[in-house]
Amino acid sequence: MLANRPLDKDTPEETIAELVDAVGRSPERRDLLVRLLPERLSLYEGRSTNETTRIRGYILAAFEQTGLPDAALPYVLEELENGRDAYLVAGAAKALRGLDSPTSRITHFLLKAVENVKYVDDALTFETYKPRWPIKDHTTALREIFRTFGWLGTRARSALPDLEALCKERSDEFSQPIRAEIENAIDRIRSDGGTAHVCCGAVSANRGLEIYAPREEQRDGGGIADIELEDQDRNTLTYGGFFRDKPSIVVFFYTRCNNPNKCSLTVTKLARLQEAVADERLVGLLKTAAITYDPEYDLPARLKAYGESRGVAFSDDDRIFRTRTGFRELQEYFQLGVNFSGSIVSRHRIELFVLDGRGEIVVTFARLQWDIQEVLEQAKALL
């Protein structure tokens, strides 16, 4: 009866947790859990950030027990590379231990997660959903990360120099129990006599980064041409009025984002991408834009201040926008990985789109940090 209960925005989170527990007992149904991960699901509409985090972290952690399907991997790697919530990062680290074919390529993500979470680690548990304190034994995100290193065994050999540095030169950055976990991981890696399995699974295909061509419903951008945009200088124009004649690179963000690895870094990288455009003498041939998820709050003065402090250069071809009308339509067209509680963004992914001269999506980069040169190459290919 697992899949028979419809899940929507009104489903109590405890019911969702019960479903996750049930799948844990019937791991052959694990694909059900994957279907619960996209941010834009109506399941997450109206839920607060905390509630969304609890649900997603619990799902991720469950993959340790059920096994981790390839389709779930981008969500896991995204959390390790960019996440700063210890509950989600811990869940992601546990999820990796459900991989059927572990690979050394995930060590990079685990090391990144160490840096992201070591100053914001937390006492947590996945033994129950929405625990009440006091809890008997807690785990932490760092503990789960290093346990996953140990689980990888010989496949994590490439990470040994980094792990040894954490234990020696950087040992004062960790508590004694965590140092013990690191040492344990090092021992397990060294003592594992298996062969390192380098190339297997979805990770090797595209690093977990979702780069994909537009879906069928995204092929016709005509429906959004009349959406009204306002830029950082309070100039108004339509979507079709800006996104035309030249290929464009557009990112989504909002100024109230509290994860520095997401929006702040995205807009900072947009500025660096603008520099790369100039270095390659492509100024005037490409457009860059950032659009806010939070149009009612992110008024032009806020957009301008945010961009300027991150080095964004403004011009006729380079702007930051909010929608004055039609954000929902834009959200639909771009299939944005975002959801809201009221007007507040509750969860979003990193996303960048390359558009052609008609403003239609050609390529999407989603979830992981996009490479500036890679994006530029995609845009140049449209010239």
Partner 1 sequence: MDTPEHRRQYTERIERAAEEQREGLRDFSDRSRPAEERQSALRRAVALRGQDEVAEAVDVILDREEDPTLRASALRAIGIEVGKSHDLIDMVIGLLRDGDEPEMVRQAALRTLQQSSFRAATFNPKMPEYTDALRTVIDDPEDSLREQALEILAQGKDEYAQRRLLESLEDPSQALVSPGKAVQLLGNDIHADYYPLLRDMVQDPPSTEAKQEAVRLLAADPASKELLVDILRDKNEYREVRNASAAALQSLAPAEFQEHAKQIILDDGEYNDLRATAIDGLALFADQEALSQDTELSSRVEQLKEQPPSDEVERSAARYISMRASGETGPAAAGTNV
Partner 2 sequence: MKTEITIDGADSASASYVAWAPVHSSIRLVEPDEDVDFVDVVLRNQHENQGGQIVFLDAIPGEGQDRLRIRLSADGTPLDFFIAGKPGRPSQQDKDAVLETVEADTEVVLSTKALMVRIRKNANDLTAGERDRFLSAFAILNNQGMGRFRDFRDMHRDNTSIEAHGRAGFLPWHRAYLLDLERELQRIDPSVALHYWKFDEPAPNLFARDFIGVPNNLGRVQFEPGNPLEFWATDGAVAGIERSPDFDSNTSAAFVMSEEDTLLLGGPDDLYAGFIDMEGDPHGEAHTSFRGSISRIDTAAKDPLFFMLHANVDRLWAKWQWLNRRFDTAELATYPFLGSAGDPGATRVGHNLRDTMWPWNQETNSPRPPTAPGGDFPPSPTENAPGLVPTVGDMIDYQGTIDLGSRLGFDYDDFLSLIVEHRR
Q: Which residues bind partner 2 (CB under 8 A)?
A: 84, 112, 115, 119-120, 173, 255-256, 260-261, 264-265, 268, 297, 301-302, 305, 309-311
Residue 87 as a binder of partner 1 (CB under 8 A): the answer is yes
Residue 49 as a binder of partner 1 (CB under 8 A): the answer is yes
Q: Which of partner 1, partner 2, none does residue 311 bind (CB under 5 to 8 Å by kind)?
A: partner 2
CB of residue 255 vs partner 1: minimum separation in angstroms?
11
Kindly tell me which residue out of 2, 3, 71, 123 binds partner 1, with binding defined by CB under 8 A. Answer: 123
Nearest-angstrom CA–CA distance, 283 and 234: 23
Tell me which amino acid residue 4 is.
N
Residue 324 as a binder of partner 1 (CB under 8 A): the answer is no
Q: Which of partner 2, partner 1, none does residue 261 bind (CB under 5 to 8 Å by kind)?
A: partner 2
Residue 174 as a binder of partner 1 (CB under 8 A): the answer is yes
CB of residue 192 vs partner 1: minimum separation in angstroms?
27
CB of residue 129 vs partner 1: minimum separation in angstroms?
12
Tell me which amino acid residue 359 is.
G
Q: Closest by alpha carbon to 99, among 54, 128, 59, 69? A: 69
CB of residue 279 vs partner 1: minimum separation in angstroms?
35
Q: Which of partner 1, partner 2, none does residue 115 bind (CB under 5 to 8 Å by kind)?
A: partner 2
Q: Please report, as residue ranges, which positions from 325 to 344 form the binding site for partner 1 (by CB under 8 A).
A: 341-344
Residue 261 as a binder of partner 1 (CB under 8 A): the answer is no
Kindly tell me which residue out of 299, 313, 372, 382 binds partner 1, with binding defined by CB under 8 A. Answer: 299
Give 370's DSSP letter. P
| Closer Cβ to partner 1, 142 or 227, answer by number | 142
Residues 6+ positions from 359 with CB-CB distance below 8 Å: 221, 224, 225, 239, 240, 242, 243, 244, 248
Q: How many CB atoms within 10 Å of residue 193?
A: 7
Q: Six-digit token pair at 360?
A: 């239609």
Residue 12 as a binder of partner 1 (CB under 8 A): the answer is no
Q: At what angle do helices 265-279 and 300-308 cross, to 10 degrees?
A: 70
Helix count and strand count (H, E) for the chain: 15, 10
Kindly tell me which residue out of 23, 60, 178, 202 binds partner 1, with binding defined by CB under 8 A. Answer: 178
CB of residue 234 vs partner 1: minimum separation in angstroms?
10
Tell me which amino acid residue 342 is.
G
| Closer Cβ to partner 1, 85 or 318, answer by number | 85
| Closer Cβ to partner 1, 122 or 162, answer by number | 122
Q: Six-digit token pair at 364?
A: 């999407």
Nearest-angstrom CA–CA distance, 314 and 318: 5
CB of residue 293 vs partner 1: minimum separation in angstroms?
13
Which span sits near partner 1 by CB under 8 A: 50-58, 160-168, 238-246, 350-358?
50-58
CB of residue 120 vs partner 2: minimum separation in angstroms?
6
End-to-end CA distance of the chain: 53
Outline where 67-106 has alpha helix (H). 73-82, 86-96
Q: Six-digit token pair at 266?
A: 């995205």
CB of residue 56 vs partner 2: minimum separation in angstroms?
21
Across the beta sheet with 228-231, the strand order is 210-212, 361-366, 351-355, 248-253, 287-292, 318-323, 228-231, 236-238
Q: How many CB atoms within 10 Å of residue 134?
A: 6
| Closer Cβ to partner 1, 244 or 256, answer by number | 256
SS3 215: coil
Nearest-angstrom CA–CA distance, 52 and 55: 5
Nearest-angstrom CA–CA distance, 307 and 300: 10
Site for partner 1, rule CB under 8 A: 47-51, 53-54, 86-87, 118-123, 130, 133-135, 138, 140, 172-176, 178, 256, 258, 296-297, 299, 301, 341-346
